[in-house]
Structure 1
Amino acid sequence: MNQQLIERIVGEILAKLNLSETESATTLPTNAFPIDVSARHIHLSQEHLEVLFGKGYELTKKIDLSQPNQFAANETVVIAGPKGSIERVRVLGPARALTQVEVSFTDAFKLGVKAPIRESGDVAGSAAFTVIGPKGSLNLEEGLIVAQAHIHMEPKDAARLNVSNNEFVNVEVDGNRPITFRKVKIRVSDRYRLEMHIDTDEANAGFIGKGAIGRIIRSGEESSPTDAREEIREILVNKQYLFKKKLLSKDDLREIEESEILIEKGTIVTALAYDVARELGKSILVRQ
Structure 2
Amino acid sequence: MDYLRTPDSRFERLLDYPFEPNYVTVDGLRMHYVDEGPADGKPILMLHGEPTWSYLYRHMIPICAAAGHRVIAPDLIGFGKSDKPTDINAYSYQNHMDWVKSLLDQLELTEITLVCQDWGSLIGLRMAAENESRFRAIVVGNGMLPTGDEQAPKAFHIWKAFAIHSPVLPISRILNVATFRKLGPDEIRAYEAPFPNRKYKTAARAFPKLVPVTPNDPATQANRAAWKALEQWKKPFLTTFSNGDPITRGGDKYMQERIPGAQGQPHQTLVGGHFLQEDSPVQFAQAVNNLLAGMD
Sort the TM-score into its range (normalised by shorter chain). under 0.3
**Pair member with larger Rg:** 1
State the structure with bigger RCO (CA 8 A, min sep 6), 1 or 2: 2
Instruction: Please report the TM-score for the alignment, with normalisation by the length of structure 1.
Output: 0.24
TM-score, normalised to structure 2, is 0.23
